[in-house]
Amino acid sequence: MSSDPISIPALALDWHRSGRGAVLSTVVETWGSAPRPVGSQLVIDAEGAMEGSVSGGCVEGAVILEAIEALGSAAPKLLDYGVSDDEAFAVGLACGGRIRVIVEPVGSVLPEPLLSELVAAEAARRPVALVADLEGPDRHLADPSAYPDRFRMDRSGVEPDGRTFVAIHNPPLRMVMVGAVHIAQPLVQMARACGYDPVLVDPRPAFGSQARFPGETILDDWPDEALAAHGLDPRTAVVTLTHDPKLDDPAIKAALASDVFYLGCLGSTRTHAKRVDRLREAGFSEAQIARIHAPVGLDIGSRSPAEIAVSIMAEITQTLRRG
């Protein structure tokens, strides 16, 4: 199972190259209630086939018509729509609002080489922003150093100048849980609900079984080998849950040698003190060891496995969004 969304830019590039024609439509601003958040995208071909979503109901239908008309145009088209109370109710909102959508034909407005570079960055799990002048032809890519707060918050939007739109394309979030134990059962569900693609690592067949975790991705290699094969990057959280140094320590060492944004380890203060001693002996610095969240999770008085999972998910969220 995977929560990775369809890559709308990749579809747009594929449709353009296959001769179908492709227009990329993106929500750039919203006011009040809006069915889809800023940054949401819809790709439309010359025949009106589409993937993705920028709104709902007749608003989306109007965007599709505008996109077909825009094919081949050398200028972007900025659309402004109001969502009435009736339309808002139809898509599950309490009240109406407004949205602005930019329509960009691939090739004539959005250059194919630029879109290709964006798609390559997505495939490589490299965070990138597509920066567009809403009133002119300038389009370029930027890395996280240019807009650190936007990348950290996954927040696309218009800059204070009112005409520069920054579309954040972060890799999907992932969570690796080492130890298919009882706590992992609610945690894997919470992770998925929060937008993570969860993976379980446990070489013990009695623990890492489909019977206990139906439909989940379970890697039965030794943790360091499993993490190396899976890959670790700044959009990945690692949680060790086994209490067994033979399993946890290889995963911890692999995570500390990577740039994962979160590493949390289950165990008491005494257990962690012993863990720290082992890591020092293995040559890890105090700064590296300080990256570990242990005992894992926010201190909310958790007792049951589900409550511990809540505390872990809360701490991961806090680390991701606040840094």
Nearest partner of 12 among 81, 111, 101, 78, judged by Cα: 111
Mean pLDDT score, 223-250: 95
Give the pLDDT score at 6: 75
CB 115 within 8 Å of CB 9: yes
Can you give the residue ranges of every domain in the chain? 8-169, 173-322
Which helix (H) or strand (E) is 3 found in, with range?
none
Peptide bond into 295 cis (omega under 30): yes
- Under the banding of pLDDT at 50, 70 and 90, the label for residue 203 is very high
**DSSP letter at 298?**
-
Mean pLDDT score, 295-300: 96
CB 186 within 8 Å of CB 306: yes
Mean pLDDT score, 16-32: 93
Give the pLDDT score at 1: 41
Angle in degrees, CA 128, 106, 149, rounded to 5: 20
Q: In whole angstroms, what is the distance from residue 37 CA to residue 54 CA?
A: 8
Global pTM value: 0.81
The per-residue DSSP string of 43-95 comes to: EE-TTS-EEE-SS-HHHHHHHHHHHHHHTT-SS-EEEEEEE-HHHHHHTT-SS
Residue 319: which residues within 8 A CB-CB, separation 6 or more? 237, 261, 262, 293
Helices assigned H by DSSP within the chain:
8-17, 57-70, 85-90, 112-123, 148-153, 184-193, 223-230, 245-256, 269-281, 286-289, 305-322
**DSSP letter at 221?**
S
Q: Is the pLDDT of residue 248 over 60?
A: yes
Mean pLDDT score, 168-185: 96
Q: Is the pLDDT of residue 89 over 80?
A: no
Query: What does pLDDT average to over the chain?
Result: 92
Specify which residues 103 forms β-bridges with: 25, 77
pLDDT tens-place string over residues 103-122: 999 999 999 999 999 999 99
Q: Which CATH number fits domain 173-322: 3.30.70.20, 3.40.50.720, 3.20.20.10, 3.80.10.10?
A: 3.40.50.720
* Percent of the chain residues topping a pLDDT of 90: 84
pLDDT tens-place string over residues 272-284: 999 999 999 999 9
Q: In whole angstroms, what is the distance from residue 141 CA to residue 130 CA?
A: 5
**DSSP letter at 162?**
S
Mean pLDDT score, 62-91: 82
Give the pLDDT score at 154: 93
Give the pLDDT score at 3: 41
Q: Is the pLDDT of residue 80 over 50?
A: yes
